[in-house]
Amino acid sequence: MKKRNLIKAVCALSFAAVGIFSYGNSAHAESVNTYIANNNIDHADVTSSVWGGFPKNGYRHGTGKPEGVVVHETANPSSTIYNEIAYMKRNYRAAFVHTFVDASRIINIANTDYLAWGAGYPANARFVQFEQVRVHSKSAFAHEIANSAYYTAYILDKYGLTPNDAAYDGKGTVWSHKGVSKFLGGTDHTDPTAYYSSMGKTYFGSSYTFAQFYQLVKTTYDNISGSHEKKAFDKVSYQSADDEALLGDKYKSYKLYNHVKNSRANIKSYSWSSVGATIGKKVYIDNIGTKSSGSAWYRIRFSTDNGVQKYWVYGKALNLD
């Protein structure tokens, strides 16, 4: 991770300020976060393995943007990350999350632009959610926590959100499942509290808390904020039109959109079945968008009636002759 010395300094100052150096009765007690910094433990990269079988439901308010992150753990001491992913795909109708994390991997399995079903109705409509798979050594737990903190910070940065621990008032961007149960309801789970506490006591001499995890998220976020790769949108020039066309033989190879594809954020697509499309069906064109690459897009409607919905479609979907 970049700025390693800065991480050490910020971690040390943060931990001293909030009093989380708890040595208790053990001479070997050590903060998990300090161990991560002192041993230069880096994070894994986010691996995209998005499965198309998950439902695609939008977050509340129709913004296409989550409002924070919920942190879970699987509560299964014998499973692996791949076992968990396979199980979730088989049982997604009951529950699923966006991503799984262990000591060496961060695997994103569901598109974070759409909600998941992992923490009850209120939270599902608001937050990206990920599961931590239980690990069984000091090093593995430290690596998993580093990965989890990075993924939380990564999602906050990706969606332009600021770290804010929700544990105090239920209004933040970083949530435990326990926090969801306390403030939002719809669930009664308390993870990852017990898992963190147990692993901290077993391997580091004192309980690890979600407040400590949040401090690591904040430190990580401060070092990556603004570094997340922003998507480059295509430049499009527009020209009014008044023309007609027919849906071509290969129209099903393309999709309908509410704007020219990749011209802006949060573009929605629509199925052809939703408009009763058939080969040779007449459409009415009122605007043409030409990308800098030269590809042409057409804004169409399926009726001349005022107020009907308009769609953008790639030119090859149409028979323009």
Looking at CATH, the fold of the domain delimited by 4-224 is given as Lysozyme-like (3.40.80)
Note the pLDDT of residue 5.
Answer: 44
| Phi and psi, residue 279, nearest 5° | -60, 130
Q: Of 29-43, 64-78, 249-263, which gets the smallest average pLDDT?
A: 29-43
Note the pLDDT of residue 265.
Answer: 67
Note the pLDDT of residue 187.
Answer: 95
Q: Is residue 308 within a helix (H) or strand (E), and if so which, with residue range?
A: none
pLDDT tens digits, one per residue of 238-261: 999 999 999 999 999 999 998 998
Indicate whether 13 pLDDT > 70.
no
Nearest to 313 by CA among 277, 244, 238, 261: 261
- Residue 231: pLDDT band by 50, 70, 90 thresholds? low
**In a 10 Å sphere around its CB, with 0-12 CB exposed, 13-18 middle and 19+ buried, how is residue 135 labelled?**
buried
**Residue corresponding to tokens 């005022």:** 306
Indicate whether 266 pLDDT > 60.
yes
The whole-chain average pLDDT of the chain stands at 88
What are the extents of the domains in the chain? Answer: 4-224, 236-319
**DSSP result, 164-229:** -BTTTTS-SSEEEHHHHHHHT-S----TTHHHHHHHHHHHHSS---HHHHHHHHHHHHHHHTTTSP
Q: What is the pLDDT averaged over residues 155-177?
A: 95
Q: Is residue 151 within a helix (H) or strand (E), and if so which, with residue range?
A: helix 138-158
Q: Rounded to two decimals, what is the model's pTM?
A: 0.64
What six digits make up the tokens of 59?
Answer: 């977050």
Note the pLDDT of residue 37.
Answer: 87
Indicate whether 145 pLDDT > 70.
yes
pLDDT tens digits, one per residue of 300-313: 999 998 889 999 99
pLDDT tens digits, one per residue of 110-144: 999 999 999 999 999 999 999 999 999 999 999 99
Percentage of the chain with pLDDT > 90? 75
Note the pLDDT of residue 105.
Answer: 97
**Residue corresponding to tokens 């099903």:** 252
Contacts of 33 (CB under 8 A, 6+ apart): 11, 15, 20, 145, 212, 215, 216, 219
Pair 66, 155: CB distance under 8 Å: yes
Question: Which stretch, 54-63, 129-138, 214-223, has highest mean pLDDT?
Answer: 129-138
User: If phi over 0 gives left and psi between -120 and 50 gives alpha, with beta otherwise, what is residue 170?
Assistant: left
Q: What is the rounded radius of gyration, in angstroms, for the C-alpha atoms of the chain?
A: 24
* Domain covering 236-319 in this structure, CATH number: 2.30.30.170
Round to whole Å and give the CA distance between 115 and 55.
9
Relative to beta strand 282-291, strand 99-101 is unpaired
Indicate whether 27 pLDDT > 80.
no
Round to whole Å and give the CA distance between 154 and 167.
20
| Phi and psi, residue 150, nearest 5° | -65, -45
pLDDT tens digits, one per residue of 182-194: 999 999 999 999 9
Note the pLDDT of residue 71.
Answer: 98
